[in-house]
A and B are shown apart, each in its own frame.
Chain A
Amino acid sequence: MCGIVGLFLKKEDLRPKLGDMLTDMLITMTDRGPDSAGIAIYGADAGGHKITVQSDSPASDFAGLDVALGEALGTPVAMKQADTHAVLTVAEDALKPAVAFLEARGLRIMGVGEAMEIYKETGLPRDVAARFNLRAMGGSHGIGHTRMATESAVTTLGAHPFSTDADQCLVHNGSLSNHNTMRRILSEKGFAPKTENDTEVAACYISSRIAEGANLGQALEGTLDDLDGFFTFVMGTKNGFGVVRDPIACKPAVMAETDDYVAFGSEYRAFANLPGIDTARVWEPEPATVYFWER
């Protein structure tokens, strides 16, 4: 199964409530995925590049991490910590050495970007949301996932969203059948997946297409030709939000749009708390059809 939620705000005034709204949607999808939960949130511009890292021993690994990274880079580094995750903000030219420094210390890089932060862990969505205090997070758009694992183990790195390039993230309901072939093709292109997970292969595929010059819509369109299997994908980029379903479209999807937002849910239940949902335009995305919004 798996549950997907997404919310793309059209107006500024709802931004402080984004985390709160997404958390309600995420928890409602617990029945569809009680193994793990995750969220990618596009927050305020931090005046640099954010690196989200994860550690199983946050108390020891994160103590003094900002100072150590700052000394290595020769410039001060801002850090905020949320449970097993920390977000470090560095200047653009310091991004590569910073990532290398953090990986050398054994930290897992969950994602990088000017706006995007990623939080994901194993456990019930309610508990995962509470650990990171997702409700308090603001932002312009975000996507979330509740996982019922099929293709790879229940681990933090197997949870969604997957980020395989700056400010890009993907969540998936379904399973891919040609992910091993695609893994080889993408590795040759320099977009090698880091985990055994099939969804990460799809994320790498979309990132590779965007790197080749495709826009979000074109990259999602490409999944219909090149990926085999069942999928409903929801993709986030710095300025955009997109949805595509495979041609068979077994995996459920429903969308809602008002003047204030575009929302995605695996089920209508996820929308029940959204403002103005009773008068929203609600529809089911067509199979093999790309929908995307960019600001």
Chain B
Amino acid sequence: MAATKQAVSDVQTLDMGQIELREVNATLQAAPSTNYTQFEILNTRGSHAIAVGLDAEIEVTVIGSTGYYCAGMNKLATVHVTGSVGPGVAENMMSGTVIVDGDASQYAGATAHGGLLVIKGNASSRCGISMKGIDIVVHGNIGHMSAFMAQSGNLVVLGDAGDALGDSLYEARLFVRGSVKSLGADCIEKDMRPEHIEILADLLTRAGADAKPEEFKRYGSARKLYHFNVDHADEY
């Protein structure tokens, strides 16, 4: 009789004061062949590339703050960071969930294709740059040049947005509750239709955000830069 795999309730602790980063990531990446589904990582001390390349429905709690590219290329896993994260959190995420209790440095969720990234503090510049389908919910503010060339997915900001929001935007939807310092080239405010309220309500609920969809404004592409027009040459 084939053994049935059962999830064990134990949390496996990976202490970076004791083991190297490569072993931490190798352990997490090998999780599908073990019975462990829950992990916690201790003594991160701002290290780079923690919990990257995961490809299974596991839950990872990172205690403390991280450096560059935490939870990069994530697929299926849920990664929860109790501190703040450095540049490029959840970069190129495919699916799964990444939650950051603190702040995120620049280019959070860059180029990511799917999944949900929740930042409970602020995100700095270039949040969601070139996003390709990820949903990002920032409880605080975002910095300048956010959603630059964003292609699809949703960026939700409960606070304010910095300069040049959505510059050269494609089809990503941007929802901002607070002020927008300035809009980038080809980014305009758009009507909030019932389907947008529905999308936003779902994202706010999933992100544990205490805000009403009606409080937000929607921004999107004016679609004037899609084809070259000599009259718009100065906007490139």
Contacts and interface: CB of A to CB of B under 8 A. Distances in A.
Interface string A256-274: 0000000000011111100
11 contacts: A252-B87, A252-B106, A267-B46, A267-B67, A268-B66, A269-B47, A271-B46, A284-B103, A286-B143, A287-B125, A287-B144
Interface of B is mostly: loop
Contact of B46 (A249, A250, A269, A283): A269
A283 B65 CA distance: 12
Interface residues of B, number: 19
A254 interface: yes
Nearest to A272: B45
Interface residues of A, number: 15
Interface string A272-286: 100000000011101
A254 to B, nearest CB: 7
Given A249-B125, A252-B87, A267-B67, A272 B105 contact: no
Contacts of B144: 249, 287
A271 B45 CA distance: 8
Which residue of B87, B124, B125 has the most chain A CB atoms within 10 A of its CB atom? B124
Interface in B55-98: 65-68, 84, 86-87
A220 B102 CA distance: 29
Contacts of A269: 45-48, 67
Given A267-B67, A268-B67, A272-B46, 7 more contacts: A249-B124, A249-B125, A252-B106, A268-B66, A269-B48, A270-B46, A284-B105
Given A249-B125, A269-B67, A283 B87 contact: no
B103 A268 contact: no
Nearest to A284: B124
Contacts of A250: 106
Contacts of B105: 252, 254, 284
A286 B106 CA distance: 11
Contact of B103 (A252, A270, A283, A287): A283
